[in-house]
Amino acid sequence: MTSHDPGAKIISIPTLKAACQECSLNGICLSLGLGEADMKSLAGAIKSRRRLKKGEYVSRMGDPFRALYAISSGSTKTCEIAADGGVQITAFHLPGELLGLDAISAERYPSDIVALETTDLCELPFERLEALALEVPGLQHQLFRIMSREVLEEEKLLLMLGRMSAEERLAAFLLNFSKRHQQLGSSPTELRLPMSRQDLGDYLGLALETVSRLFSRFQEEGLIRVQGRQIKLHNLAKLREVTQHLPASPAARA
Amino acid sequence: MTSHDPGAKIISIPTLKAACQECSLNGICLSLGLGEADMKSLAGAIKSRRRLKKGEYVSRMGDPFRALYAISSGSTKTCEIAADGGVQITAFHLPGELLGLDAISAERYPSDIVALETTDLCELPFERLEALALEVPGLQHQLFRIMSREVLEEEKLLLMLGRMSAEERLAAFLLNFSKRHQQLGSSPTELRLPMSRQDLGDYLGLALETVSRLFSRFQEEGLIRVQGRQIKLHNLAKLREVTQHLPASPAARA
DNA sequence: AACATGATTTGATAAAGATCAAATTCATAT
DNA sequence: ATATGAATTTGATCTTTATCAAATCATGTT
């Protein structure tokens, strides 16, 4: 987290009204590690805010890429769609996270990004952001870090999809979601999932029925309490154990 | 590809000897889209070359991050290792590709990167690269593109692991490998795989036996010819069909 | 409040792929 | 060339999870 003094509200230009310094996420998003003057520049790069209702699209596959979006509040799912109609959700994004990083290279959105609930976005025109990154010290590095982090997150998901059992995947998801909730200042044990069982299945590479059965099983085992999308985590340590259940042959590999 | 005249060899400073302009990949790697003067700057940023033998490590999980590596010749695998010892290979990299993008954010390598055969690397100290990206027009953008592309590639793999059958995964891998071979100027139908069946399984989320059986099946069906790691693709169109086999219910989803 | 619609849970069965096991082929060093 | 160990192939069986089906539970609407 950054250490901007929230008391020092000197700036009040209209363009900044809806910008980073007023954002409740100040310090989580792009601005991490930037000085106050740089924050002003960044705020100037924000084109506008968009409010989406549940089910509305941030982007559709094939849309031309012009801007990244930072989530100010709410949440989204990113859906990759196969030629055969199969859906793979590659990420759920929460406030402070950046959308559209996968669209830079082809200048087209490769996926549908859909709001899971009412969601507020900051639109960051990419050309302006790039120009700014050449001038604001630290911003370029920050962008590299954020993109690198996205690569890393996806690698963790690859590990889950390729090598973990259904049980391990759901436990890992719950722990990850818990951690992110906590980083946003919410309870790490009282989760309100914004996505359906179907979404969760499409993310974890499982059938929705399997996801549902696992929730029931975890509840029977006393690990969690399930009330629809309201989940209480009773035992984080045991959930962590579940993610690490040793495979049959723990032998080292070449 | 760029259009540098290979006949115009004006530069011969030692530091450039082993650098981009002399590289057989000129134009594929970072330099894509840069002018000749910028290429010189880039070449200056290259610290050194490293030659690795089969099985040697580019990085080990936890190593401090200081540099990206560009593959000049050879190939690598990137192995994510789970707490329980399970291995997931998140990428195979070929000449012209950049290694270490996932290490920027934490300033540590999150994975083992291993040479699959004798492999030559260019070491690009990241601090120098970042400084250069602030000065050389287009280099920052190029780096953003490359990182975005990495995100995209991983999303494709996520789709494979989460939603495709074993058959579809192997067919998709063969087509992808074929395309990259072709882009490097090799035959798109005569492949020499540098990785073992075990590696392929660890990449595709399958048991090595399943991979082996699929090779045999594809051969029986006349799609390919298998001689160990030497693979001849007989029918690219049919392989493409295999990747698109419709699932039981092609119904649209919410 | 009753209804309609979609989401979730639970059950029964089937299929895909993992695992265990063994034979065969390949590669490398002597 | 030959031996040795690793990689690959093939077979038999078992587990996990998908699929199909139906009941129940929410949610929002008129």
Q: Model confidence over A22-61: pLDDT tens digits? A: 565 655 566 556 666 667 677 666 767 889 999 999 999 9
pLDDT tens per residue across span B147-175? 999 999 999 999 999 999 999 999 999 99
What pLDDT shows up at residue B28?
56
H helices present in A114-207, as ranges: 126-133, 139-163, 166-183, 197-204
Instruction: Quote the distance between the C-alpha of residue A112 and its chain's center.
Output: 14
Q: Does B130 touch chain A (CB under 8 A)?
A: yes
What are φ and ψ of residue B69, in 5° steps?
-125, 135
What pLDDT shows up at residue B31?
58
Stretch B38-56: mean pLDDT, rounded?
A: 79
What pLDDT shows up at residue B138?
85
pTM of the model: 0.88
Indicate if the pLDDT at residue B142 is higher than 60: yes
List B120's β-bridge partners, or say none. Answer: B51, B73
Q: Does A141 touch chain B (CB under 8 A)?
A: yes
**In chain A, how long is the greatest CA-to-CA distance?**
63
Residues of B in contact with A203 (CB under 8 A): 162
What pLDDT shows up at residue B210?
98
B64 DSSP 8-state letter: B
What are φ and ψ of residue A73, in 5° steps?
-155, 155
Strand order in the sheet with B230-233: B190-192, B230-233, B224-227
Q: Å from A144 (CA) to C14 (C1')?
A: 48
The mean of the pLDDT values for chain B is 85
Q: Å from B238 (CA) to C12 (C1')?
A: 37
Q: Which stretches of chain A score pLDDT less than 70?
A: 1-38, 40, 43-45, 47, 246-254
pLDDT tens per residue across span B71-117? 989 999 999 998 777 899 999 999 989 999 999 999 999 999 999 99
Q: How far is CA B126 from CA A142, A216, B194, in A?
A: 14, 48, 28
Of B102, B110, B155, the CB nearest to A90: B155
What pLDDT shows up at residue B47?
67
List B98's β-bridge partners, or say none. Answer: B70
- Bigger pLDDT: A45 or B240? B240
CB A102 within 8 A of CB A69: no
Q: How far is CA B35 from CA A45, B1, B4, B29, B137, in A?
A: 29, 12, 8, 14, 9
Cβ-7 Å neighbors of strand C: A 196-198, 208-209, 211-213, 215-216, 226, 228-229, 247-249; B 165-167, 201, 205-207, 209-210, 227-229, 254
Taken in order of first residue, the domains within chain B and their CATH numbers are 13-160 (2.60.120.10), 164-252 (1.10.10.10)
Indicate if the pLDDT at residue B230 is higher than 90: yes
Could you tell me the two tokens for A205? 């590479």
Region of residue B13 (phi > 0: left; psi between -120 and 50: alpha; otherwise: beta):
beta
Indicate if the pLDDT at residue B231 is higher than 80: yes
Query: Which of B150, B158, B243, B244 would best serve as a mutation to test chain A binding (most A beta carbons within 10 A)?
Result: B158
With an 8 Å Cβ cutoff, are B252 and A133 in contact? no
Query: Which of B152, B210, B211, B246 would best serve as a mutation to test chain A binding (most A beta carbons within 10 A)?
Result: B152
Exposed, middle or buried by CB within 10 Å (0-12, 13-18, 19+), for B134?
middle
What type of residue sits at position A76?
T
- Bigger pLDDT: A5 or B39? B39
Could you tell me the two tokens for B92? 């195979």
What pLDDT shows up at residue A93?
96
Stretch B231-236: mean pLDDT, rounded?
A: 96
First to last CA, chain B: 41
Residues of A in contact with B142 (CB under 8 A): none
Stretch B123-141: mean pLDDT, rounded?
A: 90
Give the span between the Cα atoms of B22 and B17, in whole angstroms.
Answer: 7
CB A121 within 8 A of CB A58: yes
Indicate if the pLDDT at residue B33 is higher than 70: no
Q: Cβ contacts of residue A44 below 8 Å, gap of 6+?
A: A15, A16, A19
